[in-house]
Structure 1
Amino acid sequence: MSSSALPLFRFGVIADPQYAAIPPHAVMDRYYANSLAKVAEAIEVFNGWELSFVVTLGDVIDRSFSSFDDILPVYEKLRHEALFLLGNHDFSVSAGHLSEIATRLGMPSPYYSFSRHGWRFIVLDGNEVSTFAPPEGHPHRALAAQMLAELEENGARNAHRWNAALSDAQFAWLADEIAKAGEAGEKVIVMNHYPVHPPSEHGMWDSERIVALLAAQANVVAYLNGHDHVGNYGKAGACHFVNFKGVVDTESENAFAIVEVYAAHIEIRGFGREESRTLVY
């Protein structure tokens, strides 16, 4: 078998477990408590593969800081590194816990990057400018309220308080990370909780500037996200935008994926409700 027929590396993806020990919301098809068993099932599959890491694309919990005490021990059975990023529901906790979420998830900081096998992964904090994540009285809260009001006034479809934006500082950091990756000869995969493309009611408030940046960079291959539980896919420039389906949806059917990175394409192996895709780059 030629070397190009083998993946360079693989990693696992889970989106939106949204665990809470509460009854299901049948109308929305959300079964919060069932996510413990679904995540455990995904981990059992992941443990049968050689993976670099497993990333959960935000909304580990639906609400209540104590929910982390139930779901994070499930990840301890994973034989691979577990990586997290922040989703909007992860901040559905009492005000005193808002600043502790990233630490509770074992994250180095709310946004960060790491390199594997000559690829750079850039992990965004899509909640930075929001009406729920910054502490009370923080300038980002006031900025979020202003941005949301302007979007509402313009009739924007993503004018919802469960969406958010990057700060200008984080956006500049993203551009800088992509540039540094380019200098190092690294290809880039960006990961965030929120979609930015195709435009949708779940999109980041500053989707347009993010898409414009990523679509203009030759070394940015993909942007992976959750948040919109039905899933989605789009392409802008050479960048593939993949929205993974939510684990919390449906009573028993799971949704997770193994992403295989090859020399000229990415293979997404979907399990349960998650779709399989081939992304050529």
Structure 2
Amino acid sequence: MDRKEFIKIGALGTLAMSFSPLAFSAEKKDKKVRFGIITDLHYDIMHNGQERISAFISKMNEDQPDFIIQLGDFCVPKPENQSLLDTWNKFPGEKYHVIGNHDTDGGFNRDQVVEFWDAKAKYYSFDKNGFHFVVLDGNEHNESPNRPKGYARYISPDQLEWLEKDLSQTSLPTIVFCHQGLDNEMAGIENGMPVRYALEKANKEAEFQKVILVLSGHHHQDYYNHINDIHYVQINSASYYWLGDKYKTIRYSKEVDETNPWIKYTAPYKDPLWAMVEISQKGKIFVEGRKTSWVGPSPEEMEIPSNQGIYPIVSEISNRDLKI
């Protein structure tokens, strides 16, 4: 998959959900977890990626969530990108990473990415304040000769087995992170259905709504799906929507275009997008995000077909009020 295959996502929303009391019976009813989430910064494309991540970290230091997480397409693991990591690490609390498909551009591999970011692993899980969090690696290679062309976007049998075991060993309400959408057939996880079924099976076996929410990036769009009682929210890119060669436009200056030649293929957001998520033991989730404008002409002004990315192309993360 080349960059033209990007279908883009996001979510600025406000979610309100209710969960089975079985999931919370051993927990204090007023306990909460709160985390900041950002995705698809594309530091290696954007000339002002440092400003965008600095704005996010500044806000996180002000709001002091329990942890922050980025959902991939952050940066490749080269020494020139150390300043990005230095800024990221200015947040004093817990920090987590999800690997995206572009984080290995230039011939790097995922092990190098994990080491450079100081991530826990390619996929892993952790607990916080009475909740369980699962980080998936959607960049494994499908050995089938019939696999789609382009970037790997697959959850291997080994990882799927690990996921099922991990879910069986927790009794906590669970949130899943993955770079590529599990609910998106257009350049999302190839085997999204088996992965979704593993989540649904965990809920059935637990006899309560154990897996409550899946958060993804990658698609640089703003949409939401509710599939078999699980909420799937896509978090929009911090930086841009990908337009491709047909609509390339110099939006900043010729000087910026010379140093960052991929930007002209994008529709950048004037301000960075991110979200704050809060989940309470009372069974509610709130996702609060941001809205901004475009740098240069908007996709609508450029008369880009509204169905190009299936979902509308927007420079925001929407408000959402969802219940189960």
TM bin (shorter chain): 0.7 to 0.9
Match in the other structure for 1:206: 191
**1:224 equivalenced with 2:215 (yes/no):** yes
Match in the other structure for 2:78: 65
Question: What residue identity is the alignment partner of 2:121?
Answer: S
Distance 2:223 2:149 in 1: 19
Match in the other structure for 2:156: 167
SS at the partner of 1:253?
coil
Whether the 8 Å CA contact 2:110–2:122 is kept in 1: the answer is: no
Distance 2:42 2:187 in 1: 16
Q: Among residues 80, 83, 87, which one is paired with 2:96 in the alignment?
A: 83
Deviations 1:194-224 (A, max 9, x none): 1011x33121011111122223423000111
Deviations 1:66-122 (A, max 9, x none): 453231111122132221110001110335x55311111111211110001111101
Distance 2:189 2:167 in 1: 19
1:113-262 equivalence runs, <5 A = 113-129=125-141, 143=143, 146-148=145-147, 159-181=148-170, 185-197=171-183, 199-216=184-201, 217=203, 218-249=209-240, 250-262=268-280
Structure 1: stretches of 5+ with no match in the other structure? 23-31, 131-142, 149-158
Distance 1:211 1:175 in 2: 11
Distance 1:122 1:219 in 2: 12
Identity value in percent: 24
State the structure with bigger RCO (CA 8 A, min sep 6), 1 or 2.
2
Whether the 8 Å CA contact 1:215–1:236 is kept in 2: the answer is: no
Match in the other structure for 1:106: 118
Distance 1:8 1:64 in 2: 34
Whether the 8 Å CA contact 2:164–2:198 is kept in 1: the answer is: yes
Distance 1:244 1:42 in 2: 14
Q: TM-score, normalised by structure 2?
A: 0.69
Distance 2:286 2:237 in 1: 19
**Residues 163 and 195 of structure 1, relative CA distance in 2, 3 Å threshold:** farther
Give the deviation of 1:36 after TM superposition.
Answer: 1.4
Distance 1:99 1:7 in 2: 36
SS at the partner of 1:280?
coil
* Structure showing the higher helix proportion among its residues: 1
Whether the 8 Å CA contact 1:264–1:280 is kept in 2: the answer is: no
Whether the 8 Å CA contact 2:77–2:116 is kept in 1: the answer is: no
Question: What residue identity is the alignment partner of 1:171?
Answer: L
Deviations 1:22-74 (A, max 9, x none): 5xxxxxxxxx122211111111111122311000001102x562453231111
Match in the other structure for 1:278: 321
**Residues 53 and 147 of structure 1, relative CA distance in 2, 3 Å threshold:** farther
Deviations 1:220-260 (A, max 9, x none): 00111100011321011121101100012124222100001
Larger mean CA deviation between 32-41 and 82-91 belongs to 32-41
Question: What residue identity is the alignment partner of 2:145?
Answer: Q
**Residues 266 and 279 of structure 1, relative CA distance in 2, 3 Å threshold:** farther
Q: Among residues 12, 15, 22, which one is paired with 2:39 in the alignment?
A: 15
**Residues 10 and 279 of structure 1, relative CA distance in 2, 3 Å threshold:** farther
Number of residue pairs matched by the alignment: 239
**Residues 243 and 160 of structure 1, relative CA distance in 2, 3 Å threshold:** farther
Structure 2: stretches of 5+ with no match in the other structure? 1-27, 204-208, 241-267, 292-315
**Residues 77 and 163 of structure 1, relative CA distance in 2, 3 Å threshold:** same
Distance 2:159 2:287 in 1: 28
Match in the other structure for 2:284: 265
Distance 2:273 2:194 in 1: 30
Deviations 1:107-164 (A, max 9, x none): 121111000111110111111226xxxxxxxxxxxx0x6242xxxxxxxxxx452351
